[in-house]
Amino acid sequence: MRIDILTLFPAMCEAVLCESIIGRARKSGLVDIVCHDIRDYTTDKHRRVDDYTYGGGSGMVMQAEPIYECFKAVCSITGKRPHLIYMSPQGKVLDQAVAIRFSKMESIAILCGHYEGVDERIIEEIVDEEISVGDFVLTGGELPALCLADAVARMLPGVLASEESFINESHFNGLLEYPQYTRPPEYHGRVVPEVLQNGHHAKIEEWRRQQSLLRTFKRRPELLKKAELSKKDIAFLQEMKKDCINE
């Protein structure tokens, strides 16, 4: 898979993308992530890519032409038009289902806004969809773009040690992840649950499922409305609710 990032700060993105799991995946050719400096496509001798807003108001807006020319160059380099995502607080909130959808595409491009955003005409002409990382505003789209690139890339074949590494994680199956422990078996008087130490895989899986349900019920109950629940899960949740009422 190829991911192109259109940004004013490619070095900022590279500093993150060259490290850890994603960095190793890039080096091994499991994912191709390329950062493009939008300033390289401006005709302004001072490399300016922003200007004042029509109608007045505070702040500057990124101009359409440098973004358009940068995206056109990406299409020329790759020989195809990637699915273009604009990171914007006005977009659909990024969740695991969105990340999974993007991970199945052959290529995506991510546009990072800055200042007060980008000229609306660029959104109308080349952006396929807008994605947000939450109901808050950042100084630029680089951090959200890195979140999206990481969330997508880690699900590609071979990036993680096994598919199991992400299938049981929070949000992948609609539930929060169960508690995790490592050695030593006791720390500051807190002991690893006995079921995890007895080697009985069926009981361990049952405990983990119940802990996921319990944690989701307590912390993010709204997620249970969308999660795929078995009759056994529903029965367990009903017992939990009874216990809560009786406490």
Count Cα atoms within 13 angstroms, Cβ side, for 100.
10
> Is pLDDT at 10 greater than 60 in this prediction?
yes
Q: Are 115 and 50 in contact (CB under 8 A)?
A: yes
Q: In whole numbers, what is the pLDDT of the chain averaged over residues?
A: 94
Report the distance separating Cα 166 and Cα 184, nearest Å: 24
Do 191 and 133 sit in the same domain of this protein? no
CB 236 within 8 A of CB 208: no
Distance CA 53, CA 173 (A): 44
Q: Tokens 């191709």 — which residue?
A: 32
179 and 80 both lie in a single domain: no
Mean pLDDT to the nearest integer, 185-197:
96
Q: How far apart are alpha carbons 26 and 149 in whole angstroms?
A: 12
In a domain, 162, yes or no: no
CATH number of the CATH domain containing 227: 1.10.1270.20
Condensed to tens digits (0 to 9), the pLDDT of residues 77-105 reads 999 999 999 999 999 999 999 999 999 99
pLDDT tens track for 50-79: 999 999 888 999 999 999 999 999 999 999
Q: Are 26 and 132 within one domain?
A: yes
Q: What is the pLDDT of residues 146-157, one digit of tens each?
A: 999 999 999 999
Is beta strand 2-7 parallel, antiparallel or unpaired with respect to 32-37?
parallel
Out of 122, 153, 184, a domain closes at: 153
pLDDT at 174: 86
- HSE at residue 169, side-chain half, CA atoms within 13 A, is 14
The dihedral through the CA atoms of 6, 10, 12, 16 has a sign that is positive
Number of domains in the chain: 2
pTM of the entire structure? Answer: 0.88
Q: What is the pLDDT of residues 103-135, one digit of tens each?
A: 999 999 999 999 899 999 999 999 999 999 999
Residue 169 has pLDDT above 60, yes or no: no
Which domain, by its residues, includes 136?
A: 2-153
> Distance from first CA to last CA of the chain, Å, rounded?
51
**What integer is the mean pLDDT of 159-180?**
75
60 shares its domain with 130: yes
Q: How far is residue 66's CA from residue 68's CA, in Å, rounded to a whole number?
A: 5
